[in-house]
Homo-oligomer: A and B are copies of this chain.
Amino acid sequence: MTLKVEQFLKSKLLDTPFLVVDLDVIAEKYLTLHKLLPKARIYYAVKANPEPEILRLLVKLGANFDAASIGEIEQCLAVSARPEQISYGSTLKKARDIARAYQLGVKLYSFDSWGELEKLSVHAPGSRVCCRLLIETQSAEWTLARKFGCAWDMAFDLLLHSRTLGLEPYGVAFHVGSQQTDPTQWNEPIHQVALLFSKLAAQGIDLQVMNLGGGFPAQYQSPIPSEEVYAEAIQTAISHHFGDNPPQVMLEPGRFLVADAGTIQSEVVSIAKKSYTDDQRWVFLDVGKFNGLMETLDECIKYRIRTPYDGSAVGSVVLAGPTCDSADILYERAGYKLPLSLQIGDRIDILSTGAYTHTYSSVGFNGIPPLKVYCI
């Protein structure tokens, strides 16, 4: 947590729960990434946190944008991003959304199937298209495998076919999974991409870009390698597989840029034991799966938590959210311990919650309003 955030939290008692985002941290992360991989074009994954103030900052810094929907494209344009800065990166697009994006000036699209390619040829003629490759990776805390991408030989056929359809075969995309803690996971996919580049070159198709997706991690409970280690691993893999003729690289960081910039402040609603023999306390917060902490699903993302009593004696807890839904349990098996002196009404801080939190908030499940956000 930065000093700026600490001062904000001290300055006045705002109604919990809320998310506070330090824009300076986002700028710093962006500039770090830009410095480490200066030739790469950075496309911010808007879905991680689409707050207008964040998008505006990134426009100012010269970022590009990876949009998951026509809604996100409009959000980017609303803060004066130019259409050339936007990639319509979702492989799931309705025909009318493609038509609308094309009309708005977006000319770069991802796809991973015959059906999507046909829609693009009709509604976005002449556009640049990137095929998403289905890859198998490990070590991602929030895996993205299976749902997106297609097999290597199908990707080859699709890219070849795209030219026939009047589109510009532009590149290959993949994603090693979100919160990827192993920097070597980019190596094998880059190898696959290089093979695809070379096989297509033999057919007269010169692909331009390799989209390495997102995956750079945030600082949750477990230690993560530094940005330098990731940049180094990626550079090495590119040199190894592409030699002297590397492609233009696209990056789609989301979590990496915004997660560590955010802190959720929450109030302890209740503390209970279920029986006299229970050795665990249940600690119920006013934030849960359905108003910000969806990524605790299956206890995937393990946030760091600060309390007013850190350093004092702790005991095991089950941490749960405020709704009447039993799915709204945050951590039960992850081994969380909290101070024994924690009391109902205390405030706690949940760190690195700037990404994939408030946008998952339900509109009002259990009559509980969505998580509020303050950008400072």
The verdict on A361 contacting B362 (CB below 8 Å), with A145-B326, A269-B93 known, is yes
Inter-chain contact A154/B276, CB cutoff 8 Å: yes
Smallest Cβ-Cβ distance to A93: which chain B residue:
B269
Complex Cα gap A328–B294 (Å)? 12
With beta carbons under 8 angstroms apart, the residue of B91, B114, B144, B366 that contacts A47 is: B366
Closest CB of chain B to A250's CB: distance in Å? 15
Q: Judge whether A60 is part of the interface by a CB distance below 8 angstroms.
A: no
Inter-chain contact A47/B365, CB cutoff 8 Å: yes
Interface membership of chain A positions 345-376, coded 1 if the CB is closer than 8 angstroms to chain B and 0 otherwise: 10000000000001111111111111000000
Q: Judge whether A314 is part of the interface by a CB distance below 8 angstroms.
A: no
Interface membership of chain A positions 309-344, coded 1 if the CB is closer than 8 angstroms to chain B and 0 otherwise: 000000000001011111111000000000000001
Chain B positions within 8 Å of A142 at CB level = 326-327
Q: Judge whether A141 is part of the interface by a CB distance below 8 angstroms.
A: no
Q: List 26 A-B contacts (CB under 8 A).
A: A69-B367, A69-B368, A70-B367, A71-B366, A71-B369, A74-B367, A89-B324, A91-B270, A92-B270, A92-B324, A93-B270, A94-B267, A94-B269, A144-B326, A146-B326, A147-B282, A147-B329, A148-B324, A150-B274, A151-B274, A151-B275, A151-B276, A153-B275, A297-B297, A360-B362, A363-B363
